Amino acid sequence: MAGLPSGRDASPWSHTEGIGAARVDTPRAALKSGGSSRQEMGGGRAMTDAKTTPRERPTSPHLMTGGLGSPLLWRWHITMWTSILHRATGCALYVGALIAAAWAISLAQGPDHYAAFKSLLGSLPGKVVMLGLTVCVFYHLANGVRHLVWDAGVGFAPKTATAVSVAILAFTAAATAAIWAIAAMTGAL
């Protein structure tokens, strides 16, 4: 290459082997094992004198405590709960999809199978499962809307996020109660 020093002794900053020859910002003396240029210039301690024992890995804040019985350093708040609930309700909705598929299969198999499926869902455990799925649908819907708003870059302030979390829980309770009240009034229960 034109204009670059050639040879090993052109300057302490040059080097001629490998990729980036003559473009190294570390003096050749520092690249060799042993003393560094800083040590040769009389300043600082050599890098080879640094501690060689591995450092202990840091502990995550949610795992750190001040000792037995002391509070955690990481404080739980409502937005953490709503984030966890969003994932849990998403998983529960997969179970709801399986129940919907079983409903369609029983419907396709004829009146006897459909009657058996209706009696299963009409039992107390079936109604509890359906109530839980209703909660999951409305919660996941409301929290999904919040995530769409977050994707637009809005609503990340702590007070706003907390208020929206409370509103999501209130909407979930109100919508679930309304649907089950309508089901009771129409005789679907």
- Cβ burial of 171 (10 Å; 0-12, 13-18, 19+) is middle
The whole-number pLDDT of residue 31 equals: 54
The answer to whether residues 25 and 13 touch, using CB atoms and an 8 Å cutoff, is yes
The whole-number pLDDT of residue 32 equals: 57
Write the CB contacts of 71 (distance below 8 Å, at least 6 apart in sequence).
65
- How far is the C-alpha of 164 from the C-alpha of 75, rounded, in Å? 19
Query: What is the 8-class DSSP label of residue 49?
Result: G
List per-residue pLDDT tens for the chain, 189 residues long. 455 555 555 555 555 555 555 555 555 555 555 554 444 455 555 556 666 777 777 666 656 555 555 555 567 789 999 999 999 999 999 999 999 999 999 999 999 999 999 999 999 999 999 999 999 999 999 999 999 999 999 999 999 999 999 999 999 999 999 999 999 999 988
- How far is the C-alpha of 186 from the C-alpha of 17, rounded, in Å? 85
The whole-number pLDDT of residue 18 equals: 53
- How far is the C-alpha of 38 from the C-alpha of 29, rounded, in Å? 10
Expressed in angstroms, the distance from the first to the final Cα of the chain is 86
Q: Is the whole model's pTM more than 0.85, yes or no?
A: no
Q: Is residue 65 classed as helix, strand or coil in its secondary structure?
A: strand
Query: What residue spans define the domains of the chain?
Result: 78-185
Helix residue ranges, H only, the chain: 28-31, 37-40, 78-109, 111-122, 124-151, 158-185
The whole-number pLDDT of residue 142 equals: 98
Tokens of 98: 């399986």
Reply yes or no on domain 78-185 having CATH 1.20.1300.10: yes
Tokens of 64: 């750190």
- How far is the C-alpha of 59 from the C-alpha of 184, rounded, in Å? 52
- How far is the C-alpha of 177 from the C-alpha of 170, rounded, in Å? 11
Residues facing residue 72 across a β-bridge: 65
